[in-house]
Structure 1
């Protein structure tokens, strides 16, 4: 189902899943739930933790100091 959601199935697989979704209410409910989850993940704004940013900046400063000495 995940491959289907991301359009990674073959044409034949997609047709079979389409037919199954029409006939199987539980499968259709699962599909709808997965669609919502994919949408929520796509909408999520991911940001690194402040400590991660500080660590990267510190490392960068350290590299700059090594190059100037």
Structure 2
């Protein structure tokens, strides 16, 4: 019996959140299902684009957030 993999299963696979057994089954399915393979490749491309677009906040943004949080006394902020 062949397992049907969902979009969520593929996302977990791309983000390496699947078990060794799930990896084996997904990879077996990818070898015989071209539509599944295309979906997986597209998810890999999207992940690469998202990873490449990660940016760090500016110093001004960080300071604004820290100043704002001081007003709530949520945690000590060192000057």
Task: Confirm or deny a common fold (TM above 0.5).
Answer: yes
How many residue pairs get aligned? The number is 60
Match of 1:9 in 2: 18
Aligned-residue Cα RMSD (Å) equals: 3.0
Task: From the two aligned structures, give the one with the greater helix fraction.
Answer: 1
Name structure 2 gaps, 5 residues minimum: 1-9, 72-79
Name structure 1 gaps, 5 residues minimum: 64-69
Match of 1:23 among 32, 49, 61: 32
Structure whose CA Rg is larger: 1
TM-score by length of 1: 0.67
TM-score by length of 2: 0.59
- Which of structure 1's runs of 4+ aligned residues deviate more than 2 A? 45-49
